[in-house]
């Protein structure tokens, strides 16, 4: 969420963006989902590629958040949800503070941590923003859902915010709102992410048309979307015959990017439902080389070890995904880092990294869906079921990466 130089802004207006701070997000009202549960999604791009999941107990509400693997994790959270069923994420906007010379900036992570610790509803978040000393130090689209049926983006600058309500049919006919790196109420034609916005809009409109709003489909259709929003180049077409047939393709301006460090998809509690039923799917690391892992606040401090922060502040699965990613992008000099060897990711023999991981993730979704179907709605039995599932997840993911990819998750 850095302030942009004139040069960087010109790059944004030209249709590209700097690789970092280029998140792609959406939210959907529970009024428009098959099960009444709201959705909150963030494909996170950042300059800190090591991300982890942390369980916090330092506020009015316990919460789980995505953090950078560095000391700032104690004061900044980049998306998450809490025990009240409140969830939040953000994108940098770059067009809410046009002409503002305020030097205070980059406080989005602090704002989200404060919200997760203290807010239960959209009204709580609005009051928090209103009461905060000005300037706030942000230029962002904050996406928020709660367990009362609320779902909205808050296009926020240093001195105020504008609410875009997903429950307003005039603004969101299907309850869906998408944001990249510009605010709709900010200065027109500034900001960035217009190409990714087009790709996300096409993918989500197709999901709506097909009534495919399940987490597995949504994660794959966005964070593993390999169709360029402008050129329509599809990296899944014309695949190399095998993994040894080195084939480099440009990887600029897709939804997944070289700067993508994690993904979150919160499935909130339906209105009137126990907030404890809210949960989050998270991808720790580069989305093309990692797998989705579910977490619940209601299960307490213990999280799956593969996505949890270790003593070195790293998450094992993120480290493993990063090691595989380095093989996909072996050229480090000049602009070589923009080019991916597609043969190692996808190929005609189906021996690419993503092709090997797809059945692993499919099994994770299958087992998780099976567990949720028989899981008690609240209390100790629910917690025990989830913790048992976490143990299976850790074992299955570690074994799968070692056997299929020769990569240790440790």
Query: What is the reported pLDDT for 16?
Result: 41
Q: Is residue 226 part of a domain?
A: yes
Q: Is residue 1 part of a domain?
A: no
Bin 373: left if φ > 0, else alpha if -120 < ψ < 50, else beta.
Answer: alpha
pLDDT in tens, the chain (410 residues): 344 443 343 344 434 444 567 899 999 999 999 999 999 999 999 999 999 999 999 999 999 999 999 999 999 999 999 999 999 999 999 999 999 999 999 999 999 999 999 999 999 999 999 999 999 999 999 999 999 999 999 999 999 999 999 999 999 999 999 999 999 999 999 999 999 999 999 999 999 999 999 999 999 999 999 999 999 999 999 999 999 999 999 999 999 999 999 999 999 999 999 999 999 999 999 999 999 999 999 999 999 999 999 999 999 999 999 999 999 999 999 999 999 999 999 999 999 999 999 999 999 999 999 999 998 877 777 999 999 999 999 999 999 999 999 999 99
Q: Is residue 296 part of a domain?
A: yes
Strands 87-92 and 51-56 turn out to be unpaired
**Cβ-count burial of 58 within 10 angstroms (0-12 exposed, 13-18 middle, 19+ buried)?**
exposed
> Can you tell me whether residue 282 is helix, strand or coil?
strand
| Cα–Cα distance, 6 to 40 (Å, whole number) | 32
Q: Closest by alpha carbon to 125, among 89, 100, 169? A: 89
Task: Write down the residue that tokens 């699965």 correspond to.
Answer: 317
Name the domain count of the chain: 1
* Cβ 338 vs Cβ 250: under 8 Å: yes
What range defines the domain where residue 108 resides? Answer: 6-405
> Can you tell me whether residue 152 is helix, strand or coil?
strand
Q: Is residue 63 part of a domain?
A: yes
| Cα–Cα distance, 156 to 97 (Å, whole number) | 9
* Cβ 265 vs Cβ 258: under 8 Å: no
| Cα–Cα distance, 16 to 25 (Å, whole number) | 17
* Cβ 284 vs Cβ 290: under 8 Å: yes
Helix (H) / strand (E) element for 44: namely strand 39-45
Q: Is residue 29 part of a domain?
A: yes
C-alpha angle 292/225/37, rounded to 5°?
Answer: 55
> Can you tell me whether residue 380 is helix, strand or coil?
helix
Distance of CA 346 to the CA centre of its chain: 23
pTM of structure: 0.94
Q: What is the CATH number of the domain that holds 92?
A: 3.60.60.10
Distances (CA, A) of 378 to 148, 277, 374: 18, 8, 12
Q: Is residue 401 part of a domain?
A: yes
Q: Is residue 318 part of a domain?
A: yes
Q: Is residue 410 part of a domain?
A: no
For residue 227, give the DSSP letter: B
CA atoms within 13 A on the CB side of 91: 33
For residue 263, give the DSSP letter: E
User: Across the strands, what pairs with 177?
Assistant: 27
């Amino acid at each position: 969420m850095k302030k942009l130089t004139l040069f960087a802004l010109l790059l944004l207006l030209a249709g590209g963006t700097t690789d970092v701070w280029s998140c792609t997000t959406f939210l959907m009202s529970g009024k428009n989902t098959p099960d009444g549960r709201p959705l909150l999604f963030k494909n996170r791009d950042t300059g800190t590629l090591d991300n982890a999941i942390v369980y916090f107990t330092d506020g009015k509400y316990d919460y789980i958040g995505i953090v950078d693997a560095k000391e700032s994790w104690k004061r900044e959270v980049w998306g998450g949800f809490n025990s009240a069923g409140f969830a939040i994420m953000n994108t940098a906007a770059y067009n809410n503070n046009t002409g503002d010379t305020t030097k205070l900036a980059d406080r989005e992570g602090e704002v989200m941590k404060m919200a997760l610790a203290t807010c239960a509803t959209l009204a709580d978040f609005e009051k928090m923003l209103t009461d905060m000393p000005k300037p706030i130090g942000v230029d962002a689209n904050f996406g928020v859902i709660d367990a009362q049926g609320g779902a909205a983006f808050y296009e926020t600058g240093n001195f105020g915010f504008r609410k875009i309500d997903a429950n307003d049919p005039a603004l969101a006919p299907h309850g869906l709102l998408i944001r990249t790196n510009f605010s709709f109420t900010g200065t027109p034609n500034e900001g960035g992410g217009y190409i990714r916005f087009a790709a996300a809009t096409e993918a989500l409109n197709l999901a709506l048309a097909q009534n495919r709003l399940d987490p597995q489909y949504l994660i794959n259709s966005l964070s593993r979307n390999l169709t360029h929003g402008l050129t329509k180049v599809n990296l899944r077409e014309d695949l190399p015959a095998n993994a040894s047939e080195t084939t480099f393709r440009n990887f600029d301006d897709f939804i997944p990017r070289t700067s993508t460090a994690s993904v979150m998809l919160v499935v909130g509690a339906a209105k009137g439902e126990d907030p404890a039923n809210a949960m989050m799917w998270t991808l720790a690391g580069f989305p093309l080389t990692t797998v989705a892992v579910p977490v619940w606040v209601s299960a307490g401090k213990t999280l799956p070890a593969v996505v949890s922060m270790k003593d070195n502040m790293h998450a094992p699965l993120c480290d493993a995904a990063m090691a595989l990613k380095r093989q996909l992008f072996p050229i480090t000099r000049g602009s070589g880092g923009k080019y991916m060897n597609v043969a190692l990711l996808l190929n005609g023999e189906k021996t690419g990294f993503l092709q090997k991981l797809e059945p692993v993730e499919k099994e994770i979704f299958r087992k998780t869906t099976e567990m949720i179907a028989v899981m008690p709605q609240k209390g100790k039995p629910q917690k025990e079921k989830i913790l048992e599932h976490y143990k299976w997840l850790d074992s299955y993911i570690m074994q799968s990466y070692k056997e299929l990819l020769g990569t240790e998750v440790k």
